């Protein structure tokens, strides 16, 4: 891939240079790593959709997208329910 030039304020460049030096890398590699960590809105939507699909498939969740969106901490609650089911299964197998 060809390199490109981006314009940033001098203070930002100096800060990036200091970070890159501390990490033993280049500014270009640092910027590439920082950019790779950030998802686009479309990537975020795709990840959310895939996570919900997996939860529905593997955890037998019946929550709709609207319920996920309107329920604070829905994902954490689904995990709690799954953990409870697993514990109950283990207790049943141990008895």
Reported as a single tens digit per residue, the pLDDT across 36-84 is 999 999 999 999 899 889 888 988 888 889 988 888 787 788 788 888 9
What ranges in 3-62 are assigned the alpha helix state H?
Answer: 10-23, 27-37, 41-58
Q: What is the pLDDT of residue 38?
A: 94
Give yes or no for residue 7 having a pLDDT over 80: yes
Position 6 scores a pLDDT of: 92
For the whole model, what pTM was predicted?
A: 0.56
51 CB-near residues (< 8 Å, 6+ apart): 75
* Residue of higher predicted confidence among 83 and 9: 9
User: Could you tell me the residue ranges of all domains in the chain?
Assistant: 41-94
pLDDT at 95 over 60: no
- Say what the pLDDT of residue 37 is: 93
């Amino acid at each position: 891939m060809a390199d490109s030039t981006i314009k940033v304020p001098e203070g930002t460049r100096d800060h990036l240079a200091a970070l890159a030096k501390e990490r033993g890398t280049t500014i270009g590699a640092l910027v590439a790593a920082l950019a790779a960590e950030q998802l686009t809105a479309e990537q975020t939507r795709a990840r959310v959709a895939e996570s919900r699909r997996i939860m529905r498939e593997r955890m037998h969740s019946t929550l709709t997208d609207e319920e996920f969106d309107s329920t604070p901490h829905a994902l954490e609650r689904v995990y709690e329910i799954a953990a409870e089911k697993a514990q109950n299964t283990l207790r049943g197998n141990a008895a």
